[in-house]
Chains A and B, each alone.
Chain A
Amino acid sequence: MLSFKRVRAVRVHLRGPRRETLELAGRRTVAQVLAELGIDPGTVLVIRGDELLTPDVVLGAEDEVEVRPVVSGG
């Protein structure tokens, strides 16, 4: 009998021009998530609910974060 195991993942909502939602399996720090996505940590805020996360915060399964760009201009 086949059994399906749900993959537990961190959901990452990207705001700004790269608007999309990604799912990353497994635990990793905020810094690791940004490195994987090729995002300069100095150009974004990482937000979970109404709290800001520092780069060392470990994101676990079922965590949902927003990566919000801060660079404006024109």
Chain B
Amino acid sequence: MRCTVCRGQAVIDIPRHHSAFCRDHFFEHFRSQVRRAIREWDMLAPGQRVLVAVSGGKDSLALWDVLLDLGYQADGLYLDLGIGDYSCRSLEACQRFAQEHGATLHVVAVEERYGLPVPQLARANRRATCAVCGTTKRYTFNRTARQLGYDVLATGHNLDDEAAALLGNLLHWNVDYLARQAPVLPARDGLVKRIKPLYRLGERETAAYAVLRRIDYVVDECPHAVGAKELLYKEALNLIERQSPGSKQSLLFGFLEKGRQFFGIYEPPPLRPCAECGEPTTAQVCAQCRLVRRAREAVAALKPLRRDAPADGEEER
């Protein structure tokens, strides 16, 4: 297979673009898609400080790499979720990347900050780990970015992620989410501006970029992702994409250009400071404070049982 641009040996084919690229022209394609996303959605202005939420996976590290490569002042933020060996390997991947690129990495540990790691927070709240993880990430990323004085928070969501989220929102007619689904969420009332500069690139492209740039990312999935709805939506979309290349892009880009405007009537709910932590929320107490409070109550309820338990070597009568 030949590179569409120079006729050299291709390293990747992109059926939705009817293209294939050699290594150098693939990098050019990747950078030009990110530049276009940033320009068209007014994501970043020169001189702005951007904080990249990094997980150690291909998308976030590829995003950090390309933003640095394009000359942006981009630092990383890793949230240690406390998911055993997976979190240890993820942190190492982020630290390695930061060291190799001479970049700044901030690390926040969920257990240190909230008293319990994410799986235990979820168990104490009797909620799915992914739901608790999502709430904790959104809260901590925003709070940290604002406290550290960053103008913009960037996440590694790619075209596949966004198309899958859109399909999920359409299947359930989540009109509030549909009204806000965009590659940019502007800053408002304590929420830092959020951007998704990879939304024009498929996840096969972000993985290829990471491999070709020799980024040592964590290949294995989070152990809690098994059975996640997003994976089901991706599977369905990939089935369609295989028969009809370009379908995912058409779904997402078509929505952004033509469909999204119809959901503009659904105004985002007003935000006010959380009564406990001061972070923006639609309720009196924010979701994160409620999570932590319920977890503390659950742990406190367990403690008396532990005190009553027989000591080692003591027989129960």
Q: How far is the CA of A71 from the CA of B207 in the complex (A)?
A: 9
Q: How far is the CA of A72 from the CA of B235 in the complex (A)?
A: 11
B59 at the A/B interface (Cβ < 8 Å)?
yes
- B203 engages A55 (CB within 8 Å): no
- A16 engages B219 (CB within 8 Å): yes
- B161 engages A73 (CB within 8 Å): yes
A38 at the A/B interface (Cβ < 8 Å)?
no
Chain A residues whose CB sits within 8 angstroms of the CB of B59 once the complex forms: 72
- In the complex with contacts A16-B220, A71-B238, A73-B230, A54-B204 CB distance below 8 A: no
B interface, over-half SS: helix
Chain A 16-58, CB-CB to B under 8 Å as 1, else 0, gives: 1100000000000000000000001011110100111111110
- In the complex with contacts A71-B238, A73-B164, A73-B231, A45-B225 CB distance below 8 A: no
A2 at the A/B interface (Cβ < 8 Å)?
no
- B228 engages A74 (CB within 8 Å): yes
Give the size category of B's interface with A.
35 or more
- A70 engages B58 (CB within 8 Å): yes
Give the size category of A's interface with B.
20 to 34
Interface residues of B (CB under 8 A from A): 1, 10-13, 15, 20, 57-59, 130, 160-161, 164, 203-204, 206-208, 211-212, 214, 219-222, 224-226, 228, 230-231, 234-235, 238-239, 241-242
Interface residues of A (CB under 8 A from B): 15-17, 40, 42-45, 47, 50-57, 68-74
Known: A42-B241, A54-B1, A56-B1. 18 other contacts (CB 8 A): A42-B204, A43-B204, A43-B238, A44-B204, A45-B208, A51-B11, A52-B211, A52-B212, A55-B1, A57-B1, A70-B204, A71-B160, A72-B225, A73-B221, A73-B228, A74-B222, A74-B226, A74-B228
